[in-house]
Amino acid sequence: MTIEEAEPNPHVLGWIEDSVSFFPSFLDDPYDSTEINCYDWWDPNQDFAHDLINTSATSITSTITTADSSTHTDTTPDTAPTATNPTTTTNHSEESVTQESSKKRKASLDNQDHAQRRNRSLSTIENSGSIDVKPAKPVPGVKRPANKKRSAVSSGNNGNGGNKEGRWAEQLLNPCAAAIAANNLTRVQHLLYVLHELASPTGDPNHRLASHGLRALTYHLSSSTSLPSSAPFTFSTAELRFFQKSILRFNECSPWFAFPSNIVNSSILQVLSEEPDKSRNLHILDIGVSHGAQWPTLLDGLSRRPGGPPLLVRLTVISPTGDGGDSDTPFSMAPPGHDVSPLLLGFAKTLNINLQINRLDNLPLQGLNPQSIDASPDETLIVSAQFRLHHLSHSDRTEFLKSLRALSPKGVILTENNGDCACSGCVDFATGFSRRIEYLWRFLDSTSAAFKGRESEERRMMEGEAARALTSAAEMNEGRERWCERMREAGFAGEGLGEDTVDGGRALLRKHDGNWEMKVEEDSGCHCCVSLGWKGQPVSFCSLWKLSGGGK
């Protein structure tokens, strides 16, 4: 570029003249409009800039008069596509994931047929036409190939390990709850905005946690007594068939409930084996959340035990009661009309077991007594309480356990969440919320591993149901030690879990993700408890109790 070129050429001059209108006369002294124009005097690339500048200069003048409409037409079309696009793409990928997962699911079900005999027998409930019973109790000695286990471990560590760093949703949810507690509205607003952007009911466990957490926080902030209309998919809103299928499917792929059920069934057989009179009637009191799914395995076990099944097997099911009852407890409610009795009865018949089922729909837990459950002195009564007792207020608990003792059961198997209480009587809102979130995280994370990250309706329903723990007033958990203490206060003594029981639980866990772990707890010198954990964090525990002090 030379100095000569820098002189305005006719082209440039033309531009300068054009732009004069844009530079009205300025201060006479020391500047004037010619001087301002001299800013452009040397630009050797005038040609290049010419178009741009020309357009802008002219249209600015015209825009000034019509600025209103022009700006709007300018910006609106720009934003619209960007805002809608992400939604469309998300839907797309969801669809394809669902399609793919249903294919794979089919395949994996086929594989599991061989591996999971126990579950196969459960699935006969679905197609009760063909009964195909296999040995119910896992064989303790069978070791799975090592590579299987390794792959399970690695699939569980996909990105969101047990370390807090990967758990980003909690980094938004917990501060938000804290800000709500501190009445810091600006901060609350900020965090809700961010959560709203990142939450997704179908993403990885963090996105899901954000989605459920956001809903819960919003619910908390609003004064309404019902959840927003877009409430997640839960048990009570599910279609009946789908519900039953989903429960079975979940128990196949996750030990969350399958593990405790397995321990309960083994423990019942253990208690029975210790009774002198093998033909005595068996009466099981079911205060649980398995919705019947655990009993076929037990029936199968009963039919196979030495000496055959008891003459009569009575199953008394205590359904959650509505208002003021424990229907608020996650996983306790079933869709209206859910009744597995016919299936169980049919199944029992094929095993030549004389089964009697009695469902008590309106009996509050506090109303339990020998009459209400029609107990008889010449039967072996065994109580299975699973994930239901934590809805009782802390102060009612020991009393209730005492009322259980008054039934003089031969055994009580207590299964509960192993965690700290989140109720408003125990801790402030923020602490309670973070504990609920912690619980839900374990559920979502382990369930993601169970479904191998694939999206499905079953998964959505299970997760939606688990998420009720965020808003349920009935989440009054206690740690394992506290429960055990209460059992002893009520007059029970821990009973060591049998070797078969423990081995059975261990074998079951081997079929699942490697991040699951169990631990036999030793307190007071007996092994009455087994804890289930996910990535090193406690999830639940199962414990076996008998009456203390000569209750045998």
**Single residue of 11, 17, 21, 48 touching other proteins by CB under 8 A:** 48
Contact present, 381 and 375 (Cβ < 8 Å): yes
Nearer to other proteins, 197 or 481 (CB): 197
Cis ω on the peptide bond leading into residue 30 (within 30° of 0)?
A: yes
Contacts for 152 with CB less than 8 Å, ≥ 6 apart: 512, 513, 514
Q: Which residues pair with 526 in a beta bridge?
A: 523
CB of 411 to other proteins, least distance (A): 41
- Chain positions 148 to 177 lying near other proteins, rule: CB under 8 A, are 164-168, 171-172, 175
**Single residue of 11, 21, 39, 91 touching other proteins by CB under 8 A:** 39
- Chain positions 64 to 123 lying near other proteins, rule: CB under 8 A, are 64-65, 67-68, 70-72, 74-76, 78-80, 82-83, 86
Here the tokens at position 67 are 């600025």
| 96 residue type, one letter | S
- Does residue 9 interact with other proteins by CB under 8 A? no
Among the residue ranges 3-11, 347-355, 370-378, 484-492, the one whose residues contact other proteins (CB under 8 A): 3-11
What are the φ/ψ torsions at residue 277 (nearest 5 degrees)? -95, 100
Alpha carbon 465 to chain centroid, angstroms: 7
**Single residue of 9, 11, 21, 55 touching other proteins by CB under 8 A:** 55
- Does residue 371 interact with other proteins by CB under 8 A? no
CB of 67 to other proteins, least distance (A): 5
Here the tokens at position 37 are 């124009």
- Does residue 17 interact with other proteins by CB under 8 A? no
Nearer to other proteins, 202 or 372 (CB): 202
- Chain positions 194 to 233 lying near other proteins, rule: CB under 8 A, are 194, 196-198, 206, 218, 220-224, 228-230
Here the tokens at position 4 are 């000569």
Distance CA 204, CA 300 (A): 38
Among the residue ranges 2-10, 299-307, 332-340, 414-422, the one whose residues contact other proteins (CB under 8 A): 2-10
CB of 156 to other proteins, least distance (A): 17
**Single residue of 20, 63, 98, 485 touching other proteins by CB under 8 A:** 63
Distance CA 78, CA 72 (A): 10
- C-alpha distances in angstroms, 61 versus 46, 55, 225? 21, 10, 57
CB of 194 to other proteins, least distance (A): 4
- Does residue 60 interact with other proteins by CB under 8 A? yes
CB of 2 to other proteins, least distance (A): 8
Among the residue ranges 40-48, 293-301, 326-334, 344-352, the one whose residues contact other proteins (CB under 8 A): 40-48
- Chain positions 303 to 322 lying near other proteins, rule: CB under 8 A, are none
- Does residue 20 interact with other proteins by CB under 8 A? no
Question: Between helices 168-181 and 205-221, what is the axis angle to 10°?
Answer: 10
DSSP codes of every residue in 251-277: HHH-HHHHHHHHHHHHHHHHHHHTSS-
Distance CA 454, CA 27 (A): 71
Task: Tell me how many residues contact other proteins (CB under 8 A).
Answer: 87
Here the tokens at position 157 are 């560590």
Contact present, 331 and 235 (Cβ < 8 Å): yes
- Does residue 425 interact with other proteins by CB under 8 A? no
Question: Between helices 168-181 and 185-198, what is the axis angle to 10°?
Answer: 150
- Does residue 424 interact with other proteins by CB under 8 A? yes
Here the tokens at position 494 are 């821990």
- Does residue 134 interact with other proteins by CB under 8 A? no
